[in-house]
Structure 1
Amino acid sequence: MSDSDKDSESSANLTPPRKLPKKGGWTRKKEGNTSSHHRQQNFRQQWLKDPAFKDWLLPDTKDVTKAKCVYCPGSSMVAEISNLKVHASTKKHIGNKPGTSGKTQTLTSFGFQKGVVPPNKEKARAEIKLAAFFAEHNIAFSAANHLTDLLKEIVTDSKLIKEIQLKRTKVTAVVKNVLGEGHKADLAAKLQKTLFSVMTDETTDVSSVKTSCIVVRYFDQEAQKICSTFWELYNVFKETVDTEDIPTANAENLYRALISSLSSRNIPLTNVIGFGSDGCNVMMGDIDSVKTRLIRDFPGIIIVKCVCHSAHLCTSEACKQLPEGVEQLARDIYNFFRYSDKRQFDFRNFQSFAAVEPHKILKPSQTRWLSLLAVVERIVEQWEALRLFFIDFTTNREHRAKADVRNRAVAILEKLSNQFYKLYFSFLVWSLPIFNKFNLEFQSEKVVVHNLHVKIRELYTEILLRYLKREYVMRSNLEEIDPKIQDCQLPDKELYFGEPDQFWVHLLKTEDFSDLAYFALSTLSLPHANADCERVFSKVNLLKTKLRNKLIVETVNGTLLAAEATKGPKRDGNCINFEPTKEMYSRMTKDNLYDLKKKDDVSEDVPDILFRDIDFE
């Protein structure tokens, strides 16, 4: 071998093979001893607003560094501005662009019939609407295992029905990750642009999981009214890998969870103008509470303690002045009939004899605001029938009851035969309705915050009139008032013009008063009670029952959001007229439906079907 051959072989071994540069990837250019690197770029949302790209450009859902063209099927390019400009000038792109060929292209030329939704989108729409039906009507997700097969068996001539694949795993994923997340994304977009109030409360469900719910109250531009909308349900004692940060239901953790829930969706915290909750110390205490932290971090925020909780506490404290046996009698009567169908059947005979309605005895509850009056009224209504029943039960030897059961019946009969107990119950029937009327008015979803001060004064005045002289309270003679006298008529500001938010919505459309109307609508979005949170917990109790006690908080949260989504933008719809939003369609992909990285997701089960990614124009 010659020296020249050795030199060439040596240089071949020392020089690395030349690598062709890849578009959008790292490239290496050798210039002496220096090298330059090209950084890979991600798709930019601002390109969708560029007039040169907005009509045809879409992000690639499989790769954040790629882009797609609407006009060129199967196209995928590196997300760089130079590549986009090159693609826009290609003959293929120009030829596929509508209106650039010799004749005008129609929807049919793209493979679509006029007025017909693309097949993949039509299938997605059907599956989303079926999932919305499950969420709105609180149907167990396992029922989906038979539903689609049943539809295919009944409707044999529908191509769409044959394509639908919706079993338990998928319907759960659609409810959580498409309907729920899609609705929450749309709601977050609204809250980013408007002032709103926040309401929160905690509860413990049937599986002993302590949860907290967040409800937002704001003026909805689409619905053109003040709306209270469910925002989030989260686990208070959620497990964490940080052993030093043990979750507790203290003020700091509840406050951080509330703020994190909003900031995680890029909602400006400066948009929060009001906060409402019940009167518990962790929420409304003056030293260490969620309220003190909100006042510290948001100067000027308006804090409203739930007026219904306050009125209920006043009623409960007043009832404590009555003998303890009054409330115990109501509980003892209910428990005596609760588990015995025979006793309930025998009691119906005495109801017929006493000529009273065959109504059941109601259960007393300390947490239900409106239940106490209903329980008392029912016992007063059935008083004579109850007394006769317990006389028969304690004296008739045919009732072979145990000694403890007979003793309970004797104790109940003694109170029913005591006229003072009947007097106490009659007093409650007379006095409780004013509190119930007050509570009912402020549990409404309508705007009533402007009436709060007036209604409290009226309630207090009515209570005073119950035991004080009317002339002392009213300071005027009602018989001498003439409604036709001009000077005695109400001023214009006190005249009734309908719902106050609708009045300001009308002014919002006028150029001269739009700023004033916006300020008024923001003020009307302040909370007046915590009833919206209580309604959420009622829905949670209907969702998570003894038969469905394995539902995790995330699934319950998604179902609640999905049920809200079926109401539509004007909040008056249902699963029949509900139409999925663009955000929901964009989430009908495998990556969004089945996030396998989340260990606490729907289940560890393999999805029922192989769901391919769908691209929508």
Structure 2
Amino acid sequence: MATITHASVQRLCWVKECTDQWQLSSRRESGALDPGSSAPSKAGPHRQQRYRKEWEADSALKPWLQDVSNDPLKAKCRVCIVVIVVELTALAKKLQERKFSVMCDESTDIGSVKTSCVVVRFFYVDSLSVESKFWELYDVCNADDPESVERGATGKSLYEGMMKTFKDHNVPIKNMIGFGADGCSVMMGVNNSVSSHFRSDCPGLVVMKCICHSAHLCASQACRSLPRRCEDLAREVYNFFKCSSKRQSEYKQFQSFCDLKPHKVLHPSQTRWLSLVAVVQRLLEQWEALKLFFSEKWLTEKLLAIELIINSLHDPFMKLYFMFLDWVLPNFTEFNKFFQSDKAVITVLHDKVSMLFRDLLLSFMDRTYVMKTDLNTVNPERRDRHLSDSQMYLGVKVMQGLNNPSIQEKKAQQQEFFQRCRSFLVVACTEIKKRYNFNDGVLSKLNCLCPKNALSSEFRERIPSLFPLASELPLIVPPDDHSLLQKLDDQWRMFPILQHELKNLVNESPDKFWGEVSQKESSFSDLANFALTALCLPHSNAECERVFSKVNLFKTKQRNRLKTRTANGALLSASCIKGSCVHFTPANDMFSRINNHAQLFQNIREHEFDLEEDS
């Protein structure tokens, strides 16, 4: 039975391959395909394939293949559907019992179908960690529902669609403590957005903008302060090579001559969070080889595009701008990478944002002003606190490049360079301050849940009570539950006495740490449960982006008619299996459902997955 489940789950992910196999077998029998051929005949007319009972005699298909009643043009995998139902049922049962946060995003796939992805984040007792789990992928505009088509992707329709997914599985809305999404108006707008409906229907719910989206937008906005020709150079170089195998082969000779690795020139994408810094670093690495290559091309081809590129590559200030970007962009990239993690890193979010903001400020503003002024009141545009051009810090490479005689003799261009770099830093800091509230009542206090701070007696002198944080989370600790509030405070004050017993867990992640406390120290169970619930708050929307990336892997140009419910089933199966299906051990509930034929056919009717016709 376990072997059947493994094979069935694999086939769910590649259902079209099964369809092709049936079509191939049928065409061979009908004479449309030669017995020894492996490809369909192009001369044969296309026809709709009906289900054939003969297929069930095939030993490879018999254990899992099943017809669909009242529809001879469809077939089902009897085991895969059960796996999907069990996974969703088990996840719904967990959400019915504990607090959780929800993350949402929308996207349009290659088939021009707009879908919304819902991910839930909760504490998983079995692994003693906070995990993000895929919940559902559904159509925003359902052709079977004219009202949804007319409304479109509005905040209200997205909110109602999301809430319907929870109501259908009897998940109580009162268990929801947080909502996370990107900062677009339909998600985070003041009026008629998803977040505004959440605030209206769920008072006290914590709404978080994705910090990764925010960091990317800050860097993108700041890059507009630099000359447009910097971006033009990156795009023109990429476009010159992208469609020509001959040019790429010729360029490899110049790379070999300059003793460089044969790396390709990268594409500067506007939507990929981490692409820009990689493009800058690759151009700087290949700068000399590119100069030689385009110099030779200019002598032989005399193209306008080559003239623009060669002029930029021989401009010393152009390289200086790229050196500046090579220093400043990794600050955003490393920050972004850190918070793309699905681990419980929300406890350090405030400190990380403060560190990034202060580091950028210190590169162009007076140190005393930055260090002694509250970050929420610092004004990056305050000119009287700006450093002079010679005092600004723009990276080691820029400092070395400024010693170039060809740069020192051009005072006007040198002044423009400093002015644009200063503008970049001012805009970046202004955008960070606009998108993040340094006085946020929740994020500014969550660092007390870090293991090191929680066990520190010195930290108690600064944070003697947990009440300020608990009062900001009314959906975790009801304001009128004074008994629980007092228990939390008493346990918080006494918790440092476990410093010696828990010293081996200080370096663990916060969720692992508090999970172990909840298992070992019953006298601190209320404090541990509060911490684990607070750690479920979303810090980024990266998990939703990963779901859409998975969809793009199996919904391709060749499979653009794949139904959203089929994709949803594949994602649920992948979430259930976690890795290779060969080592997957089905739960007892799965076997019981497989053996229960009445339940099986009921699940088939409720979760139909259309097999695509080979058109």
Give the TM-score normalised by the residue count of structure 2.
0.67
Q: Which runs of 5+ in 2 are unaligned?
A: 26-56, 68-73, 374-455, 463-502
Q: Decide whether aligned partners of structure 1 residues 295 and 338 sit closer, same or farther in structure 2, where only a CA change above 3 A counts.
A: same
Change in 2 beyond 3 A, CA 1:581/1:462 = same
Deviations 1:162-216 (A, max 9, x none): 7854469999645762222221111011111010000001111111211110000
Q: Distance in 2 between matches of 1:441 and 1:261?
A: 31
Distance 1:203 1:176 in 2: 26
Q: C-alpha offsets along residues 95-128 of structure 1, whole Å, 9 cap, x if unaligned?
A: xxxxxxxxxxxxxxxxxxxxxxxxxxx2xx3222
Deviation, structure 1 residue 522: 0.7
- Report the Cα distance in structure 2 between the residues aligned to 1:284 and 1:303, rounded to whole angstroms: 9
Aligned residue identity for 1:435: F
Q: Which secondary structure does the structure 2 equivalent of 1:526 belong to? A: coil
* Equivalent residues of 1:373, 1:432 under 8 A apart: yes
**Comparing both structures, which one devotes a greater share of its residues to helix?**
2
Q: Against the structure 1 CA distance between its residues 243 and 448, is the aligned structure 2 distance closer, same or farther, given a 3 Å change threshold? A: closer
Does 1:442 pair with 2:317?
no
Q: Deviations over 1:515-539 (max 9, x none)?
A: 2211111110000011111111111
Q: In structure 1, how many angstroms separate the alpha carbons of the residues matched to 2:153 and 2:534?
A: 30
Aligned counterpart, 1:418: 315
> In 2 relative to 1, CA 518–174 (structure 1 residues): closer, same or farther, beyond 3 Å?
farther
What corresponds to 1:491 in structure 2? Answer: 458
Q: How do 1:43-192 residues align onto structure 2 when only pairs under 5 Å count? A: 122=1, 125-134=2-11, 139=14, 141-142=16-17, 164-166=62-64, 173=77, 177-192=81-96
The residue identity in structure 1 corresponding to 2:572 is L
How big is the shift at 1:288?
1.9
* Alignment partners' CA distance in 2, 1:374 and 1:599: 44
2:157 corresponding residue in structure 1: 253
Structure 1, residues 483-518: CA drift from partner, whole Å, max 9, x if none?
xxxxxx993579944211111112212321112211
RMSD (Å) for aligned C-alpha atoms: 3.2
Q: The residue matched to 2:508 in structure 1 has which SS?
A: coil
- Matching of residue 334 in structure 1 with residue 238 in structure 2: yes
| SS of 1:512 mapped into structure 2 | helix
Could you tell me the percent identity over the aligned residues? 42
Between the aligned partners of 1:271 and 1:244, the Cα distance in structure 2 is 27
State the structure with bigger RCO (CA 8 A, min sep 6), 1 or 2. 2
Q: Which moves more between the two structures, 466-475 or 297-306? A: 466-475
Q: Is the 8 A contact 2:141 2:149 kept in 1?
A: no
Q: How many residues align?
A: 448
SS of corresponding position for 2:141: coil
Q: Which residue of structure 2 aligns with residue 49 of structure 1?
A: none
Cα drift, residue 234 of structure 1: 0.9
Q: Distance in 2 between matches of 1:359 and 1:175?
A: 46
Pairwise CA distance, 1:604: 7.9
Going from structure 1 to structure 2, the CA distance change for 1:163 and 1:329 (only over 3 Å counts) comes to closer
Q: Which residue of 2 aligns with 1:602?
A: 610
Q: Please say if residues 197 and 273 of structure 1, whose CA atoms lie closer than 8 Å, have aligned partners that are also in contact.
A: yes
Deviations 1:360-383 (A, max 9, x none): 111111111111101111111111
Tell me which residue corresponds to 2:583: 577
Q: Is the CA contact (8 Å cut-off) linking 2:11 and 2:18 kept in structure 1?
A: no
| Partner-residue secondary structure (3-state), 2:365 | coil
Separation in 1 of the partners of 2:219 and 2:211? 12
What's the CA shift for 1:574?
Answer: 3.3
Secondary structure of the residue aligned to 1:549 is coil
Code of the residue aligned with 2:5 in structure 1: it is I
Tell me which of 231, 255, 274 is aligned to 1:351.
255
Query: CA 1:160 to 1:446, structure 2 compared with 1: closer, same or farther past 3 Å?
Result: farther
Note if 1:210 corresponds to 2:102. Answer: no
Distance in structure 2 (CA, Å) of the matches to 1:560 and 1:213 = 11
2: CA distance, partners of 1:167 / 1:389: 59
**What is residue 515 of structure 2 aligned with on the other side?**
505
Q: Which has the larger radius of gyration?
A: 1
Find the aligned partners of 1:375 and 1:443 in 2 and give their Cα distance: 20
Cα distance in 1 for partners of 2:112, 2:148 equals: 24
Deviations 1:467-497 (A, max 9, x none): 2354554479xxxxxxxxxxxx993579944
Q: Which amino acid aligns with 1:413?
A: I
The separation in 2 between residues aligned to 1:334 and 1:142, in whole angstroms, is 36
Cα distance in 1, alignment partners of residues 3 and 75 from structure 2: 12
Shift of 1:240: 2.8
Contact (CA 8 Å) 1:199, 1:215: kept in 2 or not?
Answer: yes
TM-score (norm 1): 0.67
Deviations 1:377-405 (A, max 9, x none): 111111111121111112125xxxxx8xx
The 1-side partners of 2:565 and 2:78 are apart by: 13
Matches within 5 A, 1:352-391: 352-391=256-295
Q: Distance in 2 between matches of 1:334 and 1:553?
A: 35
Instruction: Establish whether residue 560 from structure 1 lines up as the match of residue 571 from structure 2.
Output: yes
User: In the alignment, what sits opposite 1:533?
Assistant: 544
CA shift at 1:600, angstroms? 7.5
Distance in 2 separating the partners of 1:266 and 1:562? 21
Instruction: State how 1:222-241 maps to structure 2 within 5 Å.
Output: 222-241=126-145
1:260 maps to a residue whose letter is K
Cα gap change, 1:350 to 1:472, in 2 (>3 Å): same
Counterpart-to-counterpart distance in 2, 1:353 and 1:167: 60
SS in 1 for 2:511: helix
| 1:515 lines up with 2:531 in the alignment | no
Please state whether the residue corresponding to 2:104 is helix, strand or coil. strand
AA at the equivalent of 1:491 = E
Q: Structure 1: where are the runs of 5+ without partners? A: 1-121, 151-158, 398-402, 477-488, 568-572, 607-617
The change in CA–CA distance for 1:163 and 1:303 in structure 2 (over 3 A counts) is closer
1:321 is matched with which residue?
Answer: 225
- Separation in 2, partners of 1:593, 1:380: 62
